[in-house]
Amino acid sequence: MAKVTIDTQRCKGCELCVESCPQGVIAMSKSLNDKGVHFAQPARLEDCTGCGLCAVMCPEVIVEVEREEIQLPPPKADPAEPVPPDKSSPP
């Protein structure tokens, strides 16, 4: 899950972020902001993949997406791969 933050007071209500989200995470609020428009807000954050499309689409640049770091396990040695020769020992 990712974290999506929207500066709701600066939102102009264009809904581009809503339309661009493939997961339907962002919805328009029933409340009005200081500009007198219905603002966008993250509604179903549990479905957010952190793709960042909403942030890219916002013309006001007020959407921030933070992705969680994914901890990958260390790579395992491939048993089929030949072991390089030890160059320190004499031939």
Torsion of Cα atoms, 62 then 1 then 33 then 31, to 10°? 160
Q: Number of residues in contact with ligand SF4, rule: CB under 6 A? A: 29
> Which of 27, 33, 43, 52 forms a contact with ligand SF4 (CB under 6 A)?
52
| 3-state SS string for 51-80 | CCHHHHHCCCCCEEEECCCCCCCCCCCCCC
Is residue 53 within the footprint of ligand SF4 (CB under 6 A)? yes
Please compute Rg for the chain using Cα positions: 23
CB of 74 to ligand SF4, least distance (A): 29
Chain residues binding ligand SF4 by CB under 6 A are 2, 4, 6, 11-17, 20-21, 23, 25-26, 40, 48-54, 57-58, 60, 62-63, 65
